[in-house]
Structure formats: structure tokens, C-alpha cells
Amino acid sequence: MQHWFITGASAGFGFALTEQLLARGDRVTATLRRAGALDGLAARHPGRLAIVTLDVTDTAAVQRVMAEAFAAGRVDVVVSNAAYGLFGPAELLPEEKIRQQIETNLLGSIAVIRAALPGLRAQGGGRILQLSSEGGQIAYPGFALYHATKWGIEGFVEAVAQEVAPFGIEMMLVEPGPTRTSFGAGLDMVDSAGPYAETTVGQPARAFAEQKFPIRGDVTRSVAAILTAMTPGTRLPKRLVLGSQAHAGIGAALRARLAELETQSAIAAGADAPDV
């Protein structure tokens, strides 16, 4: 039986992960901002689900809650999952929403990971799973600030994974494509009317509003794939891509990026110092 610590567990991937872990017999410390969302699971699994109210933008609270989790015993896996979705033309996004996006998805995730490291080091290792998105490697118009946070946390995790590997700590980024959760319904949509109404921002906005945006991913199957990848004793990939839409989109983006890079080899070499 493993002990998992999961942020943002009230819905979506966090809820589905908590549900499947409890069903298979693990223990979970689940954090959420909205009280009551996990009461049904707690009743069905007495003694194996600890529910903590937490806003990941409160760094002091993150540190306190994480320290309490480790003080109660070994934590095998820490899952940084809490997220906020903001959609709209970058030019028109209100400053307070920009800050909320960065503070939740980027600074909040960084706070969770940093708070977990002392406990993981002290116990001789463990795993950290960071929920990212296909949006950590590709970008869509209208999601500029969301992508800024996902590309940012991916760079952070790649670097920190190298720093903590000597302590037996493994890290994995999870990159789902569009998945049938409540995330889309919960998107904070900034008005895309005016100059952006007929652009690549306005069109997706209408598709979201009319529920015509194609979504193939299944959250239950996606979580099952995560748990398979996280089987104890297996080596974690740096990134776990979930869903055919994500696989196709990321693959196309990486191939295009590599092709463009290859055309610049002479330019790159020409920027070296003369004595190289």
C-alpha cells in the first residue's frame, strides 16, 4: 500500500486519480479548495483518505500541509495537479487574471514541488508527478498565458529532476490532450469580441461556447495509464503523453521544430567565437 499526496483533487484528473488509488487499496492525502467534493470517497474508504483544504498559491500553507503529511509517515508519490485555465487574446487579458494564472499553475506547482523535496530526501527517495498538458509542448491561440505556465513548469521539472536524482527522487511530467473532464466547462473565458472576433482566437471561443470542440480523451483510461507508468520498480519516462490528439499534435510540433533547427546549422556555427 502506497501513500499519495495529491493537490487539486476535487475534480478532473485529481479526483479520478484519488478514486482509482483508493479503489486499489492505497492511502491518499488529497488537497482541494472546495470543501465537500470528496466526502463520498471518504465515506467509502474510511481511514485511507485524508482531506485537507489548501490553496496552492499560499506558499506558507503549502509548506505546512506538506510537512504535516511527511510527519505522519512516508509519502511515496507527490502529485502536483491543481490548475486554472484562462482563455482569451493575450492583449485583452485583465492583469489580475494573468497573475492568477501564473500564481496557480506555475508558482503554485513550484511551491508544491519545493515543499516536497526535503521530506522525500529525508526518507531516501520517492516520486513526483507533475500534471502538465500537451500545451506544455505546443501552443494554441487564445491560451497564451496557460501555455506560458505549462512551458514554464516543464522547464522547471526537467532541471529539478536532474538536481534530485542523486537522492533517489524521480519526476515525471504528464501531458494529456483534450480530455472529457470539467476543465473545459471551468475555463475562464475572456471576451474575444472586437478585433479578435473573426480570428483564430474568436473561432475556438465559439466552439467552446457551443460545445463543438473535439475531445477524445477519457479521464478514467488516462489515469489508468498513469498508474501503469507509475508501477513501483519501473523507470519513469520524463514525459507521459496521453491521448491520440496529444500524441499527434506534439509529434507534428516536434518534427516541425527539428526541421527548422536543421536549416540553421550554418547560422548557428557562424555565431561561434573566431577561435573555436
Using CA atoms, how far apart are residues 46 and 117, in angstroms rounded to an integer?
Answer: 28
Q: What is the 3-state secondary structure (H, E, C) of 118-139?
A: HHHHHCCCEEEEEECCHHHCCC
Using CA atoms, how far apart are residues 228 and 235, in angstroms rounded to an integer?
Answer: 11
Phi–psi pair at 179, nearest 5 degrees: -130, 145
**Is residue 97 annotated as part of the catalytic site, yes or no?**
no
Strand pairing report for 86-87 and 49-53: unpaired
Say which residue the cell 516536434 belongs to: 254
- Catalytic annotation, pick one of 80, 109, 132, 222: 132
- Catalytic annotation, pick one of 84, 146, 192, 196: 146
**Is residue 132 annotated as part of the catalytic site, yes or no?**
yes
- Catalytic annotation, pick one of 10, 150, 196, 222: 150
Q: What is the 3-state secondary structure (H, E, C) of 242-257?
A: ECHHHHHHHHHHHHHH
**Is residue 150 annotated as part of the catalytic site, yes or no?**
yes
Residue positions counted in the chain: 276
Q: For residue 236, what are the contacts with CB-CB under 8 A and spacing of at least 6? A: 127, 170, 171, 172, 229, 230
Q: Smallest Cα–Cα separation from 192: which of 212, 208, 213?
A: 208
Q: Which residues are annotated as catalytic?
A: 132, 146, 150
